[in-house]
């Protein structure tokens, strides 16, 4: 005869399955809501949510003897605090308290029917129990910010648990649950297990402190050395990208593809795309990109698959259209172009089409901004004449690119070299009449200078 506890477990899981749509809808709604609440709050890096799996629920019922505590699956679900889990991830342990205080500030309206619960006026159906002491002490002896919540969906009130965790504590939670917790009884005595846990945790706390020192240093670095330090930081990002993907290519093909220069371009684009040029925003963007790289480090990249786009590409102007169409013709034929955009698409959050369009604009502006800032064009020509010459030269750049479409064309060194040579030619032109009379000569000279310089290292 079957033990009743297993019938209880089956009935509970069946009941939870009947709420599957509501649970997943609630999980997504909660994640979106907390993202909205903390949008722009510098301490918060990420919001995640999950619905408790059947296996996890079964394990919890057995581990905590819920069959003996609750008379029915319905009663169990009414008292289960973490059917849905939401996690607010912040940078450092010190930030956890700040994020919790921000919660107290945002959820400032009391709920009459639910004593101790509070809500924000934007979403009255999301309640947080904020009258308890925080952080809470866990069984392992460590603190955690853990808040009970209720999500109201029509006649259904679903419990959820909100946790606030720093990067170190997120990592520690995974280690403790997946590595230590499930195995320690078979490997270590209880005292030794506790000693090892505390030793590991102390080391993680030290790492947290070191990371915070580095972050504060980046945030407070003085402007006099800013340009040099930015170059060093961008070189660091480029090196990390190269190491991540060179290791992946080595695993796939047995050899390393050298594309270090291309990684520099990726760094320049990603930083600019995420707003690093805005005042006082560089350090924040740098840290965000660095964190994104660590998130994708273990993600698989399919070298043998075509790149696909979610929709048709929209082009801002003729330059973007011609360059874009030229790249699209070879993006799934040329390995370097294919790998270049696969890396960008993994780093960039959003869809492939948007990232591709963004890169075309970035590439265009590398040439266009140089022309717009050229002193000769700005002082020797009228506005109409200047615009005509700029359009003409941008057209020559596209023609030069389309001749071979080598990825080395977009390397930072090559673009800087091209811009310098264009400026040299433009500085020779004293007026519009000289430009018109010698346009064939200047065209040949510019096309010669637009060719990839063999002295410039390739990707």
Is pTM beyond 0.75 here? no
Burial 121-137 (b: 16+ CB within 10 A, else e): eebeebbbbbeeebeee
pLDDT digits (tens, 9 = 90+) for 41-66: 878 888 999 998 888 888 888 777 78
Tokens matching residue 40: 């722009």
Of 53, 45, 52, 61, nearest in space to 5 by CA: 61
Rounded distance, CA 17 to CA 14, Å? 5
pLDDT confidence of residue 257: 66
Report which of residues 149 and 189 the model is more confident about.
149
pLDDT confidence of residue 458: 44
| Homologous superfamily assigned to 4-172 | Beta Polymerase, domain 2 (3.30.460.10)
Tokens matching residue 22: 């509501």
- What are the boundaries of each domain within the chain? 4-172, 185-220, 223-361, 363-450
Range scoring the smallest mean pLDDT among 3-7, 52-56, 261-265: 3-7
- Residue keyed to tokens 């005292």: 191
The pLDDT of residue 2 is above 60: no
Q: What is the mean pLDDT of residues 426-449?
A: 87
Range scoring the smallest mean pLDDT among 39-53, 108-122, 263-277: 263-277
CB-count burial class (<10 Å; 0-12, 13-18, 19+) for 166? buried
pLDDT confidence of residue 181: 54
Q: What is the mean pLDDT of residues 239-265?
A: 77
Range scoring the smallest mean pLDDT among 174-188, 319-333, 369-383, 412-426: 174-188
Q: What is the mean pLDDT of residues 273-291?
A: 71
With beta carbons less than 8 A apart as the criterion, state whether 244 and 267 touch.
Answer: no
Rounded distance, CA 292 to CA 347, Å? 7
The pLDDT of residue 281 is above 60: yes
CA 281 to chain centre: 16
Residue 176 DSSP symbol: I
321: phi > 0 → left, psi -120 to 50 → alpha, else beta; which? alpha
The pLDDT of residue 220 is above 50: yes
Rounded distance, CA 74 to CA 80, Å? 10
With beta carbons less than 8 A apart as the criterion, state whether 75 and 150 touch.
Answer: no
Of 216, 214, 180, nearest in space to 199 by CA: 180
Report which of residues 235 and 275 the model is more confident about.
235
Of 14, 137, 145, nearest in space to 74 by CA: 14
């Amino acid at each position: 005869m079957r033990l009743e506890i297993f019938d209880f477990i089956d009935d509970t899981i069946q009941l939870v399955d009947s709420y599957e749509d509501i649970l997943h809808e609630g999980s997504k709604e909660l994640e979106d809501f907390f993202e909205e609440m903390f949008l722009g709050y510098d301490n918060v890096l990420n919001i995640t949510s999950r619905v408790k799996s059947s296996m996890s629920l079964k394990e919890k019922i057995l581990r905590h003897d819920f069959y003996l505590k609750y008379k029915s699956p319905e009663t169990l679900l009414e008292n289960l605090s973490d059917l849905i889990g939401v996690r607010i991830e912040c940078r450092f342990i010190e930030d956890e308290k700040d994020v919790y205080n921000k919660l107290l500030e945002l959820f400032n309206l009391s709920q009459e029917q639910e004593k101790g619960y509070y809500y924000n006026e934007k979403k009255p159906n999301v309640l947080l129990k904020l009258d308890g002491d925080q952080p809470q002490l866990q069984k392992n002896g460590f603190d955690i910010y853990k808040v009970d919540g209720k999500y109201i969906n029509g006649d259904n009130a679903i419990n959820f648990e909100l946790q606030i965790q720093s990067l170190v504590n997120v990592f520690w939670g995974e280690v403790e649950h997946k590595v230590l917790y499930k195995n320690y009884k078979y490997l270590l005595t209880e005292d030794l297990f506790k000693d090892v846990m505390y030793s590991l945790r102390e080391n993680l706390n030290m790492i947290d402190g070191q990371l915070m020192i580095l972050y504060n240093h980046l945030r407070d670095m003085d402007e006099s050395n800013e340009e040099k330090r930015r170059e060093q930081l961008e070189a660091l990002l480029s090196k990390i990208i190269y190491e991540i993907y060179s290791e992946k290519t080595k695993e796939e093909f047995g050899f390393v593809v050298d594309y270090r220069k291309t990684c520099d371009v990726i760094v320049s684009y990603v930083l600019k795309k995420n707003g690093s040029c805005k005042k006082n925003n560089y350090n924040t963007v740098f840290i965000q990109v660095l964190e994104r790289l660590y998130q994708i480090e273990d993600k698989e990249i399919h070298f043998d698959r075509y790149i696909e786009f979610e929709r048709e590409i929209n082009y801002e102007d003729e330059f973007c259209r011609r360059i874009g169409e030229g790249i699209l013709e070879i993006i799934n034929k040329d390995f370097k172009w294919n790998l270049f955009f696969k890396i960008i698409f993994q780093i960039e959050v959003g869809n492939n089409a948007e990232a591709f369009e963004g890169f075309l604009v970035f590439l265009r502006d590398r040439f266009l901004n140089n022309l717009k800032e050229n002193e000769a064009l700005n002082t020797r020509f009228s506005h109409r004449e200047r615009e005509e010459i700029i359009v003409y030269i941008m057209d020559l750049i596209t023609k030069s690119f389309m001749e071979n479409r080598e990825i080395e064309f977009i390397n930072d060194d090559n673009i800087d070299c091209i811009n310098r040579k264009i400026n040299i030619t433009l500085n020779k032109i004293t007026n519009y009449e000289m430009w018109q009379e010698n346009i064939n000569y200047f065209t040949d000279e510019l096309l010669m200078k637009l060719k990839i310089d063999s002295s410039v290292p390739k990707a």
